Amino acid sequence: MLKNPHEEIFTALNNLMKSGSLMYDLRSKSSAAKFDHDMARLLRYEELIPADYAELQPDEDSIRLSERYVRKRSKLRGLAKRQAGKGGVKSASSTLLEALKHL
């Protein structure tokens, strides 16, 4: 089994693309700190969506599909907050990762 598949995949992709980009991995001191970081990351990504619309000028069908993803992501984000509030930080982090798939 791979020791750190996330890092190995990015390393391989960087090598394939001859990328000079920097890769980093946040090492959180606690599950709660990782959850807070992931929540902030999700919110930053969501802030980019209006700019994407303006740049890409999607058709109405694409906008409707995107709005479905927005609703699903919003529900998952709310669920993650509730899970974290009840002390289920690990499950909350998993829920946030699922929400990221709906960007």
What does the DSSP 8-state code read for residue 59? -
**Dist CA 83 CA 30 (whole Å):** 16
Residue appearing with tokens 């709005």 = 67
pLDDT of residue 49: 86
pLDDT mean for each 10 residues of the chain (103 residues): 66 65 63 88 88 88 90 94 94 91 83
pLDDT of residue 91: 94
pTM of the model: 0.67
Domain segments of the chain as ranges: 29-100
pLDDT of residue 73: 93
**Dist CA 54 CA 3 (whole Å):** 41
